[in-house]
Amino acid sequence: MYWAVREDGNYEVIDGQQRTISICQYVEGDFSIDGIGFYNLPNDKQDQILDYTLMVYFCSGTDSEKLAWFETINIAGKVLTNKN
């Protein structure tokens, strides 16, 4: 996941928003997987999810630099074109 460091010290997600929201929604009980919700899991499995270390890259810089990060992250093997 890539997060941008904002001027106020908080963060905004550059890439990984869907993953972040899905993890939070699963833990909050908004959905289950194969009929198994987070709160139906044994405590050790809940702890395993809650203690899992996510890899997050923190990007800082100007708005243009953050946009360049986003474009680079989302190339996915395709040539980017400028739509000015």
pLDDT in tens, 4-17: 888 898 998 888 89
pLDDT in tens, 36-74: 999 999 999 999 999 999 999 898 878 888 778 777 777
Contacts with 58 (C-beta within 8 Å, 6 or more apart), sequence order? 3, 4, 5, 11
Query: Is residue 82's pLDDT more than 70?
Result: no
Contact 41, 54 (CB under 8 A): no
Helices and strands (H, E) in the chain, number of each type: 3, 3
Residue position matching structure tokens 């739509």: 83
Q: At what angle do helices 17-28 and 43-50 cross, to 10 degrees?
A: 150
